[in-house]
Structure formats: structure tokens, C-alpha cells
């Protein structure tokens, strides 16, 4: 990952240079002797200063830290923050000192450079994910903890190599177990390198680059401190599992109290200003989508009307924010009276135990199959978003009978508006188990952010084109 991080920094510098140079040429042509501002500074000097400052901000925000690369929305957020800060500071300095630098030049360089940076990071991330699935660019992790506490982490990391970790061994609180089957994960045996006292030798033998502690309470405060000291001179990072799941980094902050590092977890950010921000984003983005997709929606409506008798739209009851029911609109993809036939087909359901799903549902019309394949039947839900009963991104909108089976854990899905798309949509759709669908919805509710919504919308477009799990 050190080489990959270095490569990311080189790409950042090249992208910034290209963007600023392009803005310079577009604005002033190839006259490199052109001067800017009241001090008549050479344009190429100003461009160079912007490149250096921009690249420096990317380093200051640690956007190319190997712990951030490929980690999700956080990487893109840091790139965006760096870009906004660069030009925000430059604009303030320009105003305070009356430099009068050409605004047209900045108006081209800023959006172009930001877009190219995000695009380059996205491209590199696709490459990184493909390499990680080939078991390359992985951090080698030695886990220190009991089998019970370590197994969830081992299973998650082994099942998802794109997360960037490969478990290479385990140190347990007791002597090495005689039965290796207790640490088998995804068809692979995880070797045990003794107990906690063997940490240094275990790191050397396993070639670990990271040590993850899952049984901090067993290890004890003194031993944890000594372990961190031991790892200092071995160029090995130390991770400590806090014992909470599906809580994103922005909600967590370490607060030292009486010499003890305590993990402070903020409340989920879906109230107050954040809810207003999400609503404003939903409505503005939806208005644009309705304008762009209106010809497609008109074509769908005509095709439905000509192919089978019945209304163009289907109106079904769903349960939304605060367990309040609302009418959800879709293009009709089934024959009239399909709801009445559902009970007769219940025994043929291929869903996940709670949801009714059939790959070859006889109630679906010929046009309906096409609409469902590309998720075109869900386009009228944009009107629900404009009306405030749904969001572009959120948990899947449930039926009333589904909500009646929810326990207190699943009920947290109802703390935000349901969405046209969500983590469930881009992670398998109909092929997910009920438990995995719930986990993804709860993870979204607990860790909502605008950047995450944008990434989910992007991944939704890819999922719709690939038609994964759609039927």
C-alpha cells in the first residue's frame, strides 16, 4: 500500500497540473508571458503557486494516506475538502490584497481540477478493488483476541478482500488450541501464533503490517500500552476493535478521560439541519432528474397503455418515516388484480423469508419484465420524493405486514424516509438475505452523509445497467 499511496500522490500532482494548465490555456491562449493582477505577476507563476498550494492541501488533509485510500466516502470527502479550501483561501487572499487575479481562470481551474481529481481517485479505486480481490495490495493483519471475539472480524475480512485486509494469524489469550477447525474461515485455516505474550515474534513470523486487538479487556491496560510500544519500532500499525458494528468513522471520536481513551459515539445525523440538507438535496436532484427523464417516462407510459389493459400507474401502500403509511407510485408492471393473486403464489416465493420475490412471476406483463429489468418501473417514485414521502436514497420502503413483524432493532429503519435506492439496491437487491438487507439499512441510517448518498446514486446507475439481482 505504500507504493500505491505514492502513486496516488503522483497522479494527484499530474491531474492538478493538467487542470491548471488547461485553464490557463483556455483563458489566455498560449501566451505564457501574460500577466495577472495589479502586480502584473506572470500567469505561469500564479498557476504554479496554485498547483503547489492545492497539492499541499491534499497532503495536509491526508487524502492519500494509505489508511484512507479505498476506504469509502471519506477519501472523496477529503479530496473535495482540499479543493474547496484551496480556492476558498485563494479567493480570500485575492479580495483582501486586491490582487485582481482573473476570475475566469479560477472559474475554469477549480471545477475542472476537482472533477478530474475525483474521477482519477474513482478510477484508481476501481483498480485497487480489482487488485485486492486478486489478493494484492492487502494489509497483513495479525489478530489478538479470543476466538469468539475474533471470528466476526475474521469472517468479515475474509469474505470481503476489497476492504484491504488479509488475516495472517491469531494470538489467543490462552495456549494454542489443539483443534484448528475453530479458526477456519471461508475455507481457509487461520494459523495461531501462541498467546498474547508472543506478539513480537508472531508479527515477525507472520509478516504482519497491522495488529488488530479484539479482546482489549482481556489484554488489560498495561499490556495494551506495552504492546503499542513494542510495535513502534516494527513499522506495524495497531487497531483496537471498540466492540460496536456498522458505525462510521465520522461519528466516533476518542476522548481521553482520567488517562483512559474513551470512544465517544455521536448520535446519528438525521435530525435538524442534516434532515433539511438531505431534503434540499433530494428535491433539487429530483427536479433535474424529472426534466431529464421525462421523455423516458412518457415512453414507458405509452408502452404500458398499449401492451395491456389497465392503468399506467400502480399505487401501493408503504410505510415511511415514523411508521406513517403513504401511497407509493410505480409504473404498472403486472396484470390488473395482481395483489389478489399473491396469496396463491406464496408457496413459490424465492424471497428471503420476509419479502415476496419470484424470478419468473406469472403476474408480470411482457412490458413489465423490461421495465423491471432496468428498474424503469420505479421512476414515478420521483414524485414521492418531490412530495416529501420518500428520499432518493434510504432504506427500502416496506409493506405494512412487514413492519408488523419488526422487532425494536429493525424498527430503527423507520427513523429516516425510505428511498428509491439504497445500500440494499447496490449490494445485491433481490439476492440479499433478510438479515443482510436489515444490516445494510441500519448501517445507512446510522451513518448517513451527503457524500454517501452521492456514491450510492452512482453505484445505483451501475447496478441498473448490470441488472444484478433485478426481477
Instruction: For residue 186, report the phi and psi dihedrals to the nearest 5 degrees.
Output: 50, 40
Q: Which long-range contacts (CB under 8 A, 24 or more apart) does 341-349 make?
A: none
Q: Is 307 a member of any domain?
A: yes
Q: Is 97 a member of any domain?
A: yes
pLDDT of 293 reads 92
Q: Is 222 a member of any domain?
A: yes
Query: Based on the structure, what is the number of domains in the chain?
Result: 3
Residues 69, 216, single domain; the answer is: no
Residues 200, 176, single domain; the answer is: yes
Residue 287, domain extent: 273-466
Residues 214, 124, single domain; the answer is: no
> Per-residue pLDDT for 105 more than 60?
yes
Q: Quick one: pLDDT band at residue 406, thresholds 50, 70, 90?
A: confident
Residues 455, 342, single domain; the answer is: yes
Residues 408, 447, single domain; the answer is: yes
Is the torsion defined by CA of 370, 371, 372, 375 positive or negative?
positive
Residues 308, 204, single domain; the answer is: no
Q: Which residue has the cell 513480537?
A: 200
- Which CATH number goes with the domain that contains 173? 3.40.50.1980
> Per-residue pLDDT for 299 more than 70?
yes
Greater pLDDT, 255 or 373: 373
Q: Say how many residues make up the chain.
A: 471
Helices H / strands E in the chain, number of each? 15, 15
C-alpha cell at 176: 494454542
pLDDT of 179 reads 44
The arithmetic mean of pLDDT across residues 426-453, rounded, is 73
Q: Is 261 a member of any domain?
A: no
Nearest to 373 by CA among 385, 389, 361: 361
Q: Quick one: pLDDT band at residue 151, thresholds 50, 70, 90?
A: confident
CA distance 461 to 432: 19
Residues 224, 122, single domain; the answer is: no
Residues 45, 145, single domain; the answer is: no
**Looking at 118, 133, 148, which one is the last position of a domain?**
133
pLDDT of 41 reads 64
Q: Which residue has the cell 486487538?
A: 213
> Per-residue pLDDT for 295 more than 90?
yes
Q: Is 126 a member of any domain?
A: yes
pLDDT in tens, 300-325: 999 998 888 889 998 888 988 878 89
pTM for this predicted structure: 0.60
Q: How many CB atoms lie within 10 A of CB 394?
A: 29
Residues 421, 289, single domain; the answer is: yes
Q: Quick one: pLDDT band at residue 431, thresholds 50, 70, 90?
A: low
User: 170: helix, coil or strand?
Assistant: strand
Percent helix, percent strand, percent coil in the chain, to nearest 5: 55, 15, 30
Q: Is 247 a member of any domain?
A: no
Q: Is 119 a member of any domain?
A: yes
User: 393: helix, coil or strand?
Assistant: strand
**Looking at 103, 133, 163, which one is the last position of a domain?**
133
Residues 202, 287, single domain; the answer is: no
pLDDT of 326 reads 92
Q: How many CB atoms lie within 10 A of CB 395?
A: 26
**Looking at 77, 110, 133, which one is the last position of a domain?**
133
Residues 127, 189, single domain; the answer is: no
CB 254 within 8 A of CB 450: no
The arithmetic mean of pLDDT across residues 12-32, rounded, is 82
Residues 178, 222, single domain; the answer is: yes
Q: Is 266 a member of any domain?
A: no
Amino acid at each position: 500500500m505504500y507504493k500505491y499511496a505514492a502513486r496516488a500522490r503522483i497522479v494527484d500532482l499530474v491531474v492538478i497540473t493538467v487542470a491548471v494548465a488547461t485553464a490557463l490555456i483556455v483563458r489566455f491562449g498560449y501566451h505564457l508571458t501574460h500577466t495577472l493582477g495589479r502586480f502584473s505577476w506572470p500567469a505561469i507563476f500564479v498557476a504554479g503557486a496554485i498547483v503547489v498550494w492545492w497539492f499541499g492541501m491534499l497532503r495536509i488533509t491526508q487524502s492519500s494516506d494509505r489508511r484512507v485510500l479505498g476506504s469509502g466516502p471519506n477519501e472523496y470527502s477529503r479530496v473535495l475538502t482540499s479543493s474547496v479550501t484551496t480556492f476558498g483561501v485563494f479567493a480570500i487572499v485575492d479580495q483582501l490584497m486586491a490582487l485582481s487575479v482573473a476570475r475566469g481562470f479560477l472559474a475554469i481551474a477549480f471545477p475542472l481540477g476537482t472533477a478530474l481529481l475525483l474521477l482519477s481517485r474513482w478510477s484508481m479505486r476501481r483498480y485497487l478493488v480489482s487488485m485486492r480481490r486478486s489478493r494484492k495490495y492487502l494489509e497483513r493483519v495479525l489478530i489478538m483476541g479470543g476466538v469468539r471475539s475474533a471470528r466476526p472480524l475474521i469472517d468479515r475480512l475474509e469474505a470481503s478482500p476489497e476492504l484491504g485486509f488479509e488475516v495472517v494469524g491469531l494470538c489467543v489469550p490462552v495456549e494454542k488450541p489443539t483443534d484448528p477447525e475453530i479458526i477456519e474461515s471461508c475455507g481457509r485455516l487461520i494459523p495461531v501464533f501462541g498467546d498474547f505474550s508472543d506478539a513480537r515474534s508472531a508479527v515477525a513470523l507472520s509478516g504482519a503490517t497491522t495488529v488488530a486487538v479484539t479482546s482489549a479487556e482481556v489484554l488489560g491496560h498495561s499490556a495494551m500500552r506495552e504492546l503499542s510500544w513494542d510495535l513502534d519500532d516494527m513499522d506495524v500499525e495497531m487497531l483496537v476493535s471498540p466492540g460496536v458494528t456498522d458505525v462510521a468513522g465520522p461519528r466516533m471520536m476518542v476522548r481521553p478521560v482520567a488517562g483512559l481513551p474513551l470512544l465517544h459515539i455521536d448520535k446519528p445525523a438525521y435530525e435538524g439541519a442534516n434532515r433539511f440538507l438531505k431534503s434540499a438535496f433530494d428535491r433539487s436532484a429530483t427536479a433535474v432528474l424529472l426534466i431529464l427523464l421525462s421523455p423516458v417516462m412518457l415512453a414507458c407510459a405509452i408502452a404500458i397503455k398499449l401492451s395491456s389493459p389497465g392503468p399506467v400507474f400502480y399505487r401501493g401502500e408503504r410505510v415511511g418515516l415514523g411508521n406513517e403509511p403513504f401511497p407509493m407510485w410505480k409504473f404498472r408492471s403486472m396484470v390488473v388484480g395482481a395483489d389478489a393473486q399473491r396469496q396463491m403464489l406464496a408457496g413459490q416465493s424465492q424471497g428471503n423469508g420476509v419479502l415476496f420475490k419470484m424470478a419468473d412471476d406469472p403476474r408480470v406483463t411482457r412490458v413489465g419484465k423490461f421495465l423491471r429489468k432496468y428498474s424503469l418501473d420505479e421512476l414515478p417514485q420521483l414524485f414521492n420524493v418531490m412530495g416529501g414521502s420518500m428520499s432518493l436514497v434510504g432504506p427500502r420502503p416496506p409493506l405494512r405486514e412487514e413492519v408488523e413483524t419488526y422487532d425494536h432493532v429493525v424498527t430503527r429503519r423507520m427513523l429516516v424516509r425510505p428511498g428509491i435506492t439504497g445500500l440494499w439496491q447496490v449490494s445485491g437487491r433481490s439476492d440479499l438475505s433478510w438479515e443482510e438487507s436489515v444490516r445494510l439499512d441500519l448501517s445507512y441510517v446510522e451513518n448517513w452523509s451527503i457524500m454517501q448518498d452521492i456514491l450510492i446514486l452512482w453505484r445505483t446507475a451501475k447496478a441498473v445497467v448490470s441488472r444484478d439481482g433485478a426481477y
